[in-house]
Amino acid sequence: MKTAGHSEATTRRGLELTPFRGLRYDPDRVGSLASVTSPPYDVVVRPDGLHHLESADPHNIVRLILPQAGTPSARTEQAADTLRRWLAEGILVADPDPGLYVYEQQDGDGMLQRGIIGTLRVTEPAEGVVLPHEDVMPPVVADRAALMRATRANLEPLLLTYRGDGVMASGTTAGVGIGTPAGPGAGTTAGVGVGTAAEAGIGTAAEVIERTASRPPLLATTTEDGFRHRLWSITDPVDLARVQSDLAGRQALIADGHHRWATYRRLRLEHPSPSPWDYGLVLLVDTVRYPLRVRAIHRLLHGLPVVDALRAVDGLFRVRRLDVPLPEALAALADASCAGNAFLLAGDGAFHLLDRPDQRLLARTVPADRPAAWRSLDATVLHATLLEHVWRIPEDSPAHIAYIHDTAATVEKAERDGGTAVLMHPVREEVVRDLARQGVTMPRKSTSFGPKPASGLVLRALEI
């Protein structure tokens, strides 16, 4: 079957990362680089976080990734008009030469992450090159697709991981993490630090990244969350070829950005190949060298008071009230999660720990045609059992449910709005990896890998 000029793959191809002319803010035209950046669109807490970013600078990237207007079409038209105006006024300027970009993030605790930003050939899951691990919500994909069509731009990179052949940047041998299956020599070179990357033979992409990061950056800024961000460009043809050659045989896992990747796939099929839509903007991080953090994404249930949520689960879960601060409640959730499915409800000034679900309820509500690891996920039980059968809340309706990364913000919004916060415990990284390799996707918004790339440091206009 052929669709819009795309034929089924006949030979296995790996990651194909290509240079592009990045769009970047002119630092002389904005208040500061930190004031025009934003978290990814789906991490911004709305409306409070959105209003904060809008007020930080009139040119904050949030005006492009989350435009505000009365209708969906007006929002996308507004974003396109804003982008055109910023380009015409020189607020955003294209770099003179195509390149790949080394991107570094470091927090106040010394956590360091480096990766490489470029445009990646868009593939289907069946090709086994870029592996998704979560389901997506069609309305969100439709929204992102409309925005990309209108702006003809990739406004923020999504986060992908792959496995190189070397050691952690700290100099210790890395265990098997998310990304491609480890090869025979993966994780076996111990005691080699960043400064000896080339001599250790840890892989040409890693060597180029580390060498590039030893030079003065194109930009450096520290955002209000305490993260320092630095960016370099790679334009040397030899270095570009080394990176591309190293990645060509590798496989990636989507860590953050499933909806944007699904959007890339949709838009690729809409445009005959070859076209700029064959590629999408990504950040690739080698998790052998820079392991990611895995956090949970919480749920805010609008219009469901905690008292009603608890009444509905009476007799179906064990429920314990916890009159303790948030850190202690999360610790209790972590302990309960070791023994099975557990959730923390909040919104009435206390915390309520749900665990030990009725096994007959799970047998009746959780689909039996999936692997045991999928059936036992907290997100599976939450969506299949609690949301669908107990609380009867549609998982893809913004009027009924919000997905929030910030734990404290989820609780605060529930208490303020009279809803119920459902706090989750992070899923183990090895479970994500194993399910992805089996081609099994987890329920939507099951994980939050990070740190995530800041939006606004480098963009891609498809026609530049």
242, pLDDT greater than 70: yes
pLDDT at 2: 37
pLDDT at 204: 86
Give 141's contacts (C-beta < 8 A, 6+ positions apart).
259, 262, 263, 266
Kindly report the backbone phi and psi dihedral angles of residue 378, in degrees, each rounded to the nearest multiple of 5, phi listed first.
-60, -40
121, pLDDT greater than 70: yes
Q: Which of 127, 137, 165, 153 is nearest to 15 (CA)?
A: 127
301 in Cβ contact with 404 (< 8 Å): no
% of residues, the chain, pLDDT over 70: 89
In the 8-state DSSP scheme, what is residue 27? Answer: T
Q: Which of 307, 222, 215, 282 is nearest to 34 (CA)?
A: 222
Mean residue pLDDT of the chain comes to: 89
pLDDT at 359: 97
Compute how many other C-beta atoms are within 10 angstroms of the C-beta atom of residue 353: 20
424, pLDDT greater than 70: yes
- Residue recorded with tokens 């990284």: 429
pLDDT at 11: 55
Q: What is the mean pLDDT of residues 436-454?
A: 89
pLDDT at 167: 66
pLDDT at 12: 63
401 in Cβ contact with 393 (< 8 Å): yes
How far, in Å, CA of 3 to CA of 346, rounded?
Answer: 48
372 in Cβ contact with 400 (< 8 Å): no
Amino acid at 178: I
Give 198's contacts (C-beta < 8 A, 6+ positions apart).
207, 211
pLDDT at 390: 98
187 Rama sector, left if φ>0, alpha if ψ -120 to 50, beta otherwise? left
Gyration radius (Cα) of the chain, Å = 22
How far, in Å, CA of 245 to CA of 17, rounded?
Answer: 9
Query: If you write DSSP's letter for every residue of 202-213 in order, what string do you get?
Result: --HHHHHHHHHT
217, pLDDT greater than 90: yes
Amino acid at 44: V
6, pLDDT greater than 70: no
In tens, the pLDDT along 56-102 reads 999 999 999 999 999 999 999 999 999 999 999 999 999 999 999 99
- Residue recorded with tokens 């059968």: 389
Distances, alpha carbon 338 to alpha carbons 87, 355, 361, 376, 427, in Å: 52, 11, 20, 12, 11
Three-state DSSP at 424 gives coil
Long-range contacts of 81-89 (CB under 8 A, 24+ apart): 83/151, 83/153, 83/461, 86/59, 87/23, 87/461, 89/29
The band of 7, judged by pLDDT with boundaries at 50, 70 and 90, is very low
Between 184 and 360, name the one with better pLDDT: 360
In tens, the pLDDT along 10-28 reads 456 899 999 999 999 999 9
- The reply to whether omega before 451 is within 30° of 0 (cis) is yes
In tens, the pLDDT along 308-333 reads 999 999 999 999 999 999 999 999 99
Residue 243: both structure tokens together: 């990176």
120, pLDDT greater than 90: yes
% of residues, the chain, pLDDT over 90: 77
Q: What is the mean pLDDT of residues 132-145?
A: 93
The band of 175, judged by pLDDT with boundaries at 50, 70 and 90, is very low
**Pick from 240-244, 344-348, 368-372: least confident:** 368-372
- Residue recorded with tokens 């050691």: 167
How far, in Å, CA of 396 to CA of 111, rounded?
Answer: 34
In the 8-state DSSP scheme, what is residue 194? Answer: G
Beta bridge partners of 33: none
Give 253's contacts (C-beta < 8 A, 6+ positions apart).
130, 131, 133, 160, 161, 162, 178, 179, 432, 433, 436
Residue 297: both structure tokens together: 């994404």
